[in-house]
């Protein structure tokens, strides 16, 4: 049986606001995320349909709080909550938040590609 843990995750993205340890289990990407600084992903999602994440995510919040905005409402997840983010969301998390997230690998890769372009543009000031 395939498995993955925070310590065994092969991909580590260490950015100022968050650290994301991830790996794939078949066609599902598992992320172990620790939020260091309160932030929203809104600027990084620009260019996706509705300027929002179109990839669904299932997960469990270990600590902290996430607020997820949709076109017509917002949802808040707190420590101990299992969650499902439907396509069309914009997440924001507080410092100290930790969660495990499960996402369809290919859809997440498309989203991350756009986010990386937006990070590069922000670093170049464009």
Number of domains in the chain: 1
**Which range of residues forms the domain containing residue 18?**
11-124
For residue 51, give the CATH number of its domain: 2.60.120.10
Which tens digits make up the pLDDT trace of 95-120?
A: 999 999 999 999 999 999 999 999 89
Q: Token match 């100022």: residue?
A: 16
5-12, Cβ contacts within 8 angstroms, sequence gap of 24 or more: 5/32, 6/32
Q: Confirm whether 5 is domain-assigned.
A: no
Domain assignment present for residue 4? The answer is no
The 10s digit of each residue's pLDDT in 29-82 is 999 999 999 999 999 999 999 999 999 999 999 999 999 999 999 999 999 999
Q: Per the domain annotation, does 3 fall within a domain?
A: no
Question: Does residue 6 form part of some domain?
Answer: no
Q: Where are the alpha helices (DSSP H) in the chain?
A: 105-124
pLDDT at 56: 98
């Amino acid at each position: 049986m395939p498995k993955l843990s925070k310590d065994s995750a092969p991909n580590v993205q260490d950015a100022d606001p968050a650290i994301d340890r991830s790996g794939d289990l078949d066609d599902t990407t598992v992320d172990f995320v620790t939020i260091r600084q309160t932030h929203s992903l809104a600027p990084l999602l620009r260019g996706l349909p509705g300027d929002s994440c179109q990839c669904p995510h299932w997960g469990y919040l270990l600590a902290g709080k996430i607020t997820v905005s949709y076109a017509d409402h917002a949802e808040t997840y707190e420590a101990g909550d299992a969650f499902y983010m439907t396509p069309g969301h914009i997440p924001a998390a507080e410092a100290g938040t930790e969660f495990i997230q499960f996402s369809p690998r290919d859809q997440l890769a498309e989203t991350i590609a756009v986010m990386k372009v937006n990070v590069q543009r922000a670093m170049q000031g464009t």
